[in-house]
Amino acid sequence: MTDRIPSQDRPTTGKASAGPRAAEESTAGERPGGVSRRALLGTAGATGLVLGAVGGGVGYALAPEESEAPAEALTRLGARRAMFHVKHQPGITTPLQAKGHLLAFDLLAGKGRREAANLLRRWSETAERLMAGETVAADGHDTGIALDAGPASLTVTFGFGHSFFSRTGLEKQRPEALAPLPQFSSDHLDAKRGEGDLWVQIGADDALVAFHALRALQKDARGTARVRWQMNGFNRSPGATASPRTARNLMGQLDGTGNPQESDKDFTQRVFVGAEDGPEWMANGSYVVMRRIRMLLDDWERLGLTEQEKVIGRRKSTGAPLTGGGERTEPRLNATDKNGDLVIPLNAHARITRPDQNGGAAMLRRPFSYHDGIDADGVPDAGLLFLCWQADPLRGFVPVQRKLDRGDALSEYIRHEASGLYAVPGGAAKGEYVGQRLLEG
């Protein structure tokens, strides 16, 4: 859990940054004709809050950071927009968002390929509208949950589980890479919270925008599919740190330091399915492994800082390897201390997960943290909604997890409680819906 995710803490500029993500993010969430109605209302709402604070606080001076906070800072956050019609579905290389929902659906009895196609068409239309900051339907009928907000970096991502292909009579189109994951000795899996015919990932920088999308997609599925499971997650809000940082997880560790970078020459080959890798409908797609990993936080927090850092193999404060340097410094795996012991222990998590320790196996980690309250024993039900993306899970996730299963020091402090593997097709072109080449091919 120490591989690098593109940071969500980048400066909140009005325009999407140039580079590999430029195709996914617009310049300022604007549509032809000017700022959207939702973005405009968002500005008015922010201004109203400021005026209300002044009016309600007669005789009291506001703190400078309150009185001088520019309303447009909030507007810029809400105006960030990810594009729906892109080569790779949004939500894979998109910077981490503050709020996320994961859910899986099972098709209802008697529903097959035709009904699934209609559902994916509805879902794609809904996702496109919401990601643009518009209401759910063209007629304006909407719950109003996010009526005064902009797109807020909303992304919606769709995938297919192993069972989807038998339910729709498309077994011949099921990719070999979608074979069920092997069992691992550290698994304590709840089948009711894993797998499923259809998988959906929702991410946004605003909780109400994310929930609005969740409700809209659930309503679209009525009569065709029912929710099998749902999980809710979160990350640090954009701009919460003074400078962009790799995200931290609930153990306090920087989580995502060694991720493959979009600037790497083999990034696309590692993360996305090539046209020659088949099947044809998966071109430009990816495979995502979902693991609900509960962190045994009470046990972890009993460890001293030095012990925690040895478990991970990195400094908690900076993410730097124990052998010195900064977060991006390559660790010296053979370095020893004055007693002749390895500085980075053989079972340190950061050592075991390195690609050069796993035959080059690499995956793009893009997780959410979760907290589902306190259980009957007073123990927090909290941890990581682990998501990793790769061109082939048999060459990405599986070999790494097998090695972790054999001796990761972190295993004592985590428990894998749910799992799923999904084929996520490439992005839909204009006029298409996600999965159309599979369902109508």
Cβ-contact 410, 312 below 8 angstroms:
yes
Task: Give the span between the Cα atoms of 207 and 10, in whole angstroms.
Answer: 19
Task: Give the span between the Cα atoms of 6 and 89, in whole angstroms.
Answer: 16
Exposed / middle / buried, residue 208 (Cβ in 10 Å: 0-12, 13-18, 19+): middle
**Across-strand partners of 283?**
none
The single residue of 106, 255, 392, 408 carrying the catalytic annotation is 255
For 221-271, the three-class secondary structure string (H helix, E strand, C coil) is CCCCEEEEEEEEEECCCCCCCCCCCCCECCCCCECCCCCCCCCCCCHHHHH
Cβ-contact 200, 157 below 8 angstroms:
yes
* φ, ψ dihedrals at 378, nearest 5°: 80, 20
Cβ-contact 316, 308 below 8 angstroms:
yes
Tokens of 360: 């080059």
Q: Is 372 a catalytic residue?
A: no
Give the alpha-carbon dihedral of 285, 86, 118, 169, to 10 degrees.
-20
Cβ-contact 394, 332 below 8 angstroms:
no
Amino acid making up residue 342: L
Exposed / middle / buried, residue 312 (Cβ in 10 Å: 0-12, 13-18, 19+): buried
| 3-state secondary structure at position 14 | coil
What b/e readout covers 324-335, taking b as 16+ CB neighbours within 10 angstroms? eeebeeebebee
Cβ-contact 420, 289 below 8 angstroms:
yes
Residue 262 CB coordination number (10 Å)? 14
For helices 113-131 and 207-220, give the axis angle rounded to 10 degrees. 150
Task: Give the span between the Cα atoms of 15 and 95, in whole angstroms.
Answer: 14
| 3-state secondary structure at position 240 | coil
Tokens of 210: 């994310």
Task: Give the span between the Cα atoms of 307 and 322, in whole angstroms.
Answer: 12
Helix (H) or strand (E) holding 215: helix 207-220
| 3-state secondary structure at position 255 | coil
Active site residues: 255
